[in-house]
Structure 1
Amino acid sequence: MSRAEPAGVRGGRAPGRLWTLSLFRSEVSTVFRRWRTLALLGVLAVVPVLVGIAVKAQTGDDGGPAGHGGGGPAFISQVTNNGLFLVFTSLAATLPFFLPMAIGVIAGDSVAGEAGSGTLRYLLVAPAGRTRLLLAKFTSTVVFCCAATLVVTVSALTVGALLFPLGEVTLISGTTVSFTDGLLRTLLIAAVVAASLTGVAALGLFVSTLTGSGIAAMATTVGLLITVQIIDQFPQLSAVQPYLFPHYWLSFADLLRDPVYWDQLLRNLGLQALYVAVFGSAAWARFTAKDITA
């Protein structure tokens, strides 16, 4: 069966809804079968291990981190008291670069990679149409966002349980909640982090429609990510920073307060939705009008 014909669908006789589902399953399967994807997930799984070992190695005789300078998110200093905080620390460590870089690679290659290999033309022969194909590619990238975040979360939770004690969670606001409550907040934080990456996914998808080279699209997306991150660090550019997609990424820490501070969390989710709408529409306009000759 060719790459252009999703499993279970032959000759275009299936209804449109079945074609869409089959196309989505085919795109998700294609993404997760690639060695590049597995390598990215492997790197993300290793980061919490390194963070956990580093924190454990720096633990002083009193059980606290030796020489901790107070930098970083407020919950980092609590890792030695509760392994659950290694999840939050690992997400904070991977979110500025590792997670969005992985998303940028997958999104940037989504259309351009197919065009470069010559398979995009055959995909467009299928009755699903360009809009459904683009939607399937974006949705499969969002699935990767969730998978990548889940890998970091599960790895950090496992390492945290092995290296540090687990129990009641003292939030950064000073309130103590049960371990079950803390675990639920962990799942909610993972969902927020995954949603925070959808803006990068939409941007990468748009870049991917502009070129027939997967490598160029991936490099451009990652380059834009680094550039925006740098811009977000200069106080002189504070007027534009609230409109940059990574500006509110670390707002997930507000879920570790009681009561929860929703202001920046909602701004983050709204900003990601805006990027998805703008760059998703731009990708659709470009892709539906693009002359596919490869």
Structure 2
Amino acid sequence: MARWERTAGPPHGGGLRLFGSELAVLFRRWRTWALLAALAAVPVLIGLAVRFSPGRPPSGRGPAFLDQVTNNGLFVGVVAMIVSVPLFFPLTVGVVAGDTIAGEAGLGTLRYLLVAPTGRLRLLLVKYAGAAVFCAAAALTVVLSGAVTGLVLFPLGPATLLSGDTVDAGAAFGRLLLMAGYVTVSLLGLSAVGLFLSTLTTVPVGAMAATVVLAVTAQILDSLDQLAWLHPWLFSHYWLDLGDLLRSPISWASFGDNAVLQLGYTVVFFGLAWARFASKDVLP
């Protein structure tokens, strides 16, 4: 058989089995749990720092909503989400997305996946879907860790939103879950970039590092007023607009704009990944 001849399509249901296997492998790795544990530690450290500081955090200094933590423990999760978005989320997602294809190639298991009746496009879809699930798991980890930390260290009660309205603790936690959804959507474009970079090399560390560097670079460019024309096109442009979910009524404009932008990055970079992977020589 020619080296580039397509393998037979997978049997019915093979895609779901492959996806289940991908998730099982991903969440059996100690590295994955170490990344999630590091994210879970962020709200814990924030909560402990505020709880045992000599005075209340001054208003207008430090991360947004930090001065609200002592009044309502649910704001520990809000502060942790805002702190994690610029670096911690891109770092962990970059590690997972950069390893998707390069990790298999480096271990020599990629050729066996393709010898099986899987298909390259299906494998790419499964790898991207696995990275997307990790994005959701990362965001939920910070939210749940923040909620538990706030419950243990601070009082819970009605939360005052940016619009000045007050909602009860249950509704406030619902806003936190919406923020987790916002962050998950925000990271989908970066995951597609990492997937593409992962098809370019057999060294996963290189793809991981390049993904994280691009995330940091995009945020630096987004902070330069001289490049205002470029800002709406950067995948990180709407990352910190998750505060719009703390208004009443909720402002969905940034959520929609962010989703469209991430969809565009996903389509473009998944297409590039497919173009590269479809002609990649991985078989002996």
Per the normalisation by structure 2, the TM-score is 0.93
Q: Secondary structure at the match of 2:80?
A: helix
Q: Secondary structure at the match of 1:211?
A: coil
**Preserved CA contact (<8 Å) 2:10 2:117:** no
Residue 59 of structure 1, CA deviation: 5.9
**Preserved CA contact (<8 Å) 1:59 1:66:** no
| Mapping for residues 120-159 of structure 1, pairs under 5 Å | 120-159=110-149
Query: In structure 2, which of residues 12, 36, 43 is the aligned counterpart of residue 48 of structure 1?
Result: 43
Task: Give the Cα separation in 1 of the matches to 2:57 and 2:139.
Answer: 29
Give 1:7's aligned residue: none
Task: Give the Cα separation in 2 of the matches to 1:88 and 1:115.
Answer: 39
**Preserved CA contact (<8 Å) 1:111 1:208:** yes
| Mapping for residues 17-56 of structure 1, pairs under 5 Å | 17-56=12-51
**1:59–1:167 Cα change, 3 Å:** farther
Residue 40 of structure 1, CA deviation: 0.7
Q: Secondary structure at the match of 1:124?
A: helix
Residue 182 of structure 1, CA deviation: 1.3
| Mapping for residues 205-220 of structure 1, pairs under 5 Å | 205-220=195-210
| Mapping for residues 91-170 of structure 1, pairs under 5 Å | 91-170=81-160
Moved more, 272-281 or 229-238: 229-238
Spell out, residue by residue over 1:253-284, the C-alpha distance to the aligned partner (whole angstroms, 9 max, x if none).
11111122222221111111111111111111
Give 2:253's aligned residue: 263
Work out whether 1:77 is the aligned partner of 2:67. Answer: yes
Work out whether 1:179 is the aligned partner of 2:179. Answer: no
Give 2:190's aligned residue: 200
- 1:216 maps to a residue whose letter is G
Task: Give the Cα separation in 2 of the matches to 1:95 and 1:161.
Answer: 23
**1:174–1:59 Cα change, 3 Å:** farther
Task: Give the Cα separation in 1 of the matches to 2:209 and 2:124.
Answer: 20
Per the normalisation by structure 1, the TM-score is 0.90
**Preserved CA contact (<8 Å) 1:205 1:280:** yes
Aligned pair count reads: 278
Residue 285 of structure 1, CA deviation: 1.3
**Preserved CA contact (<8 Å) 1:58 1:67:** no
**Preserved CA contact (<8 Å) 2:89 2:138:** yes
Give 1:236's aligned residue: 226
**1:206–1:237 Cα change, 3 Å:** same
Task: Give the Cα separation in 2 of the matches to 1:159 and 1:86.
Answer: 7
Residue 14 of structure 1, CA deviation: 10
Q: Secondary structure at the match of 1:166?
A: coil
Residue 25 of structure 1, CA deviation: 0.8
Q: Secondary structure at the match of 1:16?
A: coil
Task: Give the Cα separation in 2 of the matches to 1:59 and 1:182.
Answer: 27
**1:188–1:59 Cα change, 3 Å:** farther
Task: Give the Cα separation in 2 of the matches to 1:263 and 1:21.
Answer: 34
Query: In structure 2, which of residues 244, 252, 273 is the aligned counterpart of residue 254 of structure 1?
Result: 244
Residue 28 of structure 1, CA deviation: 0.9
Task: Give the Cα separation in 1 of the matches to 2:62 and 2:230.
Answer: 25
**Preserved CA contact (<8 Å) 1:59 1:80:** no
Structure 2 gap ranges (5+) = 1-6
Spell out, residue by residue over 1:206-260, the C-alpha distance to the aligned partner (whole angstroms, 9 max, x if none).
0001111111111111111121122122111111112111111111111111122
Give 1:5's aligned residue: none
- 1:210 maps to a residue whose letter is L
